[in-house]
Structure 1
Amino acid sequence: MTDRIARAIKQPQTQIPEGAAQKAAPRFLVPTTEKTYDLKYPLEWEGVEYRQLAFKRLKGKDFKKFSMLMQMGADEGASLISLVAGIPVEIAQELDGEDFINVLLETRDFMPARFQEAMSGQTSETGLATQE
């Protein structure tokens, strides 16, 4: 029997050399709207106080995060709030009921139109609700 020796192939370094210019992140060409919401019932978690939420428009990469949150058992509303407000899903799930509903309504302007329609109920061409 002969011994076989396998060599690990070292992956090329992908670090940016010192002094090299770093690439800028992509940015929107049109101004993005920002909005804030002051919580009526602020929360504290792991030493961080949550008194005000700032909303941002969702990006393509956020939909993968949304899918992951749903697979982990987070509900749809808390997942959306978490992504749009940039807070941990645990905070979104623990918001007071009044704050949760108000924040969910406020986040609508920051979601794609398809999500806005899903939140408000689908309507047909005649304007009648199609949900039962």
Structure 2
Amino acid sequence: MSKSNIQSSPVKIELSIRSESVQRIYNFYVNNLFYANRRYQRKLVWTIEEKRAFIDSILQGFPVPIILLAETEKDKKSVFEIIDGMQRLNAITAFIEGEFDIEGKYFDLQTMVESKSRLDQGKLIQKNPIL
């Protein structure tokens, strides 16, 4: 490729850093907007205790590491490819869906539109006691 061809086709890179709510993260998950590229994403390896510790950090309002996503297209649909943070994203969604508790208590599925909708559809079951 000649130098002129490289200069005539600039790559547009836009970086935006923003804070997202747990509700929005779960909304992306429910709507299949996350894409884990298995060419470089490792398998889920966090233990339940590691997931609990991460969720506890969120509940206590501690700063948590950034999750890196790249907006891309897959199957003609705009999605967010997970670059870094798959374990953390999984911990959030697994806690919401009742896969584990925090100090014996479970996420209240009535608190978010997406989780309440899935509860009403019978896709999720509320476990007790509620956090």
Task: Please say whether Structure 1 and Structure 2 have the same fold, judged by a TM-score greater than 0.5.
Answer: no
Larger Rg: 1
Higher relative contact order (CA 8 A, sep 6+): 2
